[in-house]
């Protein structure tokens, strides 16, 4: 974006330089609609020219200027192309007369979304003095960014990686912004289905930059096998318009039996340990009893 800003600034400097060399007809009124297009797409720009001067004009033409050489000798080019001719002739404009021309502008596929100023140049012959004169200016155009989101989800248990029914765990949703524009004020609200929320249902993320990703997580208690993540996603798109999407994604959660069969968890050996401990205690008690009886018999023999 910094490079594009430099281009626009350089163009402005160039036209200010030309302004000191060219006499402008300030009463020529130019009306141009502000349009919005997307990278790689095209749009039509209509330029209306109204002669409010007190003289007639001949050989009137209007041109869209997308490249030039600045006073420093630097070549400047805007990331647009004109479909067809970049210069068009108008009818002769008598006093209080008007005419218009349309141009089809296409944005580069690699353009950085944002607002751009496009220079134009109107040339004509002033019939009062037969002098060739020019008027220049700029018009605004917005290159917007289409929202292109993708999603991924991951489930994990708290104690072990495998999410188990009846156990606590975590659900993590990844938001992947594949578009060319940032999305802002991103918030996600979960509607539990097959699990109980332990953490808050709403997570605020903020901004997810273009070609980047971010995540939202919830602490949960899984109550059913294979629940679904059902969330409401709210965000402001590149044009700052609020968007609301419903995202439903399947979740992989196992029963204890399935986790054991798949080797995701090991069977508890607590029962074995308890049995061994009880056996040792019983053997010890029997041994102590036998030892006491033997001592008693030895005393009686004496």
Q: What is the pLDDT of residue 20?
A: 39
Q: Which domains does the chain have, with CATH numbers?
A: 2-143 (2.60.40.10), 149-261 (2.60.40.10)
pLDDT tens sequence across 33-75? 889 999 999 999 999 999 887 888 899 999 999 976 667 777 7
- Name the residue with tokens 């200027």: 65
Q: Is the pLDDT of residue 137 over 60?
A: yes
- Name the residue with tokens 């330089």: 17
> How many CB atoms within 10 Å of residue 67?
12
Strand segments, DSSP code E, in 33-130 are 35-37, 42-51, 57-64, 67-69, 75-77, 80-83, 87-89, 98-107, 114-126
Residue scoring higher pLDDT (278 or 297): 278
C-alpha 15/C-alpha 35 separation (Å) is 22
Q: Using pLDDT thresholds of 50, 70 and 90, give the confidence band for residue 5.
A: very low
> How many CB atoms within 10 Å of residue 19?
11
Quick check: helix, strand or coil at residue 282? helix
- Bridge partners for 175 per DSSP: 151, 214
């Amino acid at each position: 974006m910094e490079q594009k800003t430099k281009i626009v600034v350089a163009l402005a400097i160039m036209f200010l330089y030309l302004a000191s060399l060219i006499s402008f007809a300030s009463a020529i009124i130019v009306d141009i609609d502000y349009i919005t297009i997307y990278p790689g797409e095209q749009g039509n720009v209509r330029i209306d020219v109204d002669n409010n001067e007190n003289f007639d004009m001949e050989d009137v033409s209007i041109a869209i200027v997308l490249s030039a050489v600045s006073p420093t000798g630097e070549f400047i080019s805007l990331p647009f192309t004109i479909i067809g001719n970049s210069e068009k002739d108008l009818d002769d404009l008598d006093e209080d007369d008007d005419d218009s021309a349309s141009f089809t502008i296409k944005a580069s596929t690699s353009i950085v979304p944002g607002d751009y100023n496009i220079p134009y140049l109107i040339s004509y012959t002033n019939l009062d003095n037969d002098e060739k004169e020019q008027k220049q200016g700029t018009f605004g155009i917005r290159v917007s960014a289409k929202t292109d989101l993708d999603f991924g989800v991951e489930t994990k248990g708290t104690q072990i990686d495998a999410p188990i029914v009846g156990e606590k765990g975590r659900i993590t949703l990844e938001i992947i912004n594949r578009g060319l524009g940032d999305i802002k004020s991103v918030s996600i609200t979960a509607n539990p289905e097959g699990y109980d929320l332990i953490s808050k249902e709403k997570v605020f993320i903020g901004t997810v930059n273009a070609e980047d990703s971010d995540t939202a997580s919830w602490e949960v208690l899984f109550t059913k096998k294979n629940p679904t993540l059902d969330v409401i996603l709210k965000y402001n798109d590149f044009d700052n318009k609020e968007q609301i999407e419903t995202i439903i994604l399947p979740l992989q959660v196992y029963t204890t039996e399935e986790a054991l069969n798949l080797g995701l968890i090991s069977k508890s050996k607590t029962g074995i340990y308890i049995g061994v401990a009880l056996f040792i205690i019983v053997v010890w008690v029997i041994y102590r009893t036998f030892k006491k009886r033997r001592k008693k018999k030895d005393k009686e023999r004496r």
